[in-house]
């Protein structure tokens, strides 16, 4: 892991560098293959108030970089708070990597199906389909259909005649019956 310490308008003394190095070393406990850590300390002055800010940029192999910025009046306090935030972010990344099993979609399907091959089962079902002739589609006499229509409260009846033509027998408004 490469460590870069930079001070902008802030003198980085040996105790500050030691504190930064020790704080950065605590990030190794997450085993996330940290490539480099850059710490930039700078002095801020806004509206007559002086303070310092620390910015950590943590570059991880195969993942996005983590950037933490912290402002405070004391440099040591800013470092401690920023390191805590960095640890929290790295802990989240570590937990995601360890806790969640990387299971593919095919494995999930196989588990939910109980190991049954769905494509094979669908082919087997296609072989089992047998067409059945229904009684409704057998040819019928017009007279028989007329008697059924008079006895029921239906307005029309659709049927096949003996010539295999689709016919409609219906009740007209004047009380008589029509055949189409």
18-70 residue pLDDT tens: 999 999 999 999 888 999 999 999 999 888 888 999 999 999 998 889 999 99
pLDDT interval class at 7 (50, 70, 90): very high
Q: Does domain 135-179 have CATH number 3.30.505.50?
A: yes
pLDDT in tens, 121-154: 666 666 565 665 555 567 888 888 888 888 888 8
Dig out the tokens for 44 from the structure. Answer: 């801020």
CATH architecture of 2-99: 2-Layer Sandwich (3.30)
Which residues are CB-contacts of 59 (< 8 A; sequence separation ≥ 6)?
34, 35, 36, 37, 38, 65
pLDDT digits (tens, 9 = 90+) for 62-121: 888 999 999 999 999 999 999 999 999 999 998 888 776 666 666 766 667 666 666 776
Whole-model pTM above 0.95? Answer: no
The residue among 73, 74, 12 whose CA lies nearest residue 48 is 73
Instruction: Look at residue 154 in the predicted model and tell me its pLDDT.
Output: 85
CA angle 137, 138, 143 (to 5 degrees): 105
The pairing of strands 166-171 and 156-160 is: antiparallel
The residues spanned by each domain of the chain are: 2-99, 135-179
Domain 2-99 identical in fold to domain 135-179: no
Predicted pLDDT at 81: 96
Q: Cβ(139)–Cβ(164) under 8 Å?
A: yes
Average pLDDT, the chain: 85
């Amino acid at each position: 892991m490469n460590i870069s310490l930079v001070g902008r308008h802030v003198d980085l003394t040996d105790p500050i560098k030691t504190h930064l190095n020790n704080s950065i070393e605590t990030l190794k406990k997450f085993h996330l293959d940290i490539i480099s850590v850059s710490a930039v300390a700078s002095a801020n002055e806004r509206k007559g108030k002086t303070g310092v800010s620390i910015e950590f940029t943590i570059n991880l192999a195969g993942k996005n970089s983590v950037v933490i910025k912290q402002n405070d009046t004391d440099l040591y306090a800013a470092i401690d708070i920023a390191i805590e935030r960095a640890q929290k972010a790295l802990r989240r990344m570590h937990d995601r990597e360890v806790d969640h099993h990387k299971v593919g979609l095919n494995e999930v399907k196989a588990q939910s199906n109980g190991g049954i091959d769905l494509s094979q089962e669908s082919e087997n079902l296609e072989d089992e389909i047998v067409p059945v002739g229904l009684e409704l589609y057998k040819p019928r006499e017009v007279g028989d259909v007329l008697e059924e229509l008079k006895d029921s409260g239906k307005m029309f009846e659709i049927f096949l005649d003996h010539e295999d033509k689709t016919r409609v027998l219906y009740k007209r408004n004047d009380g008589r019956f029509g055949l189409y």
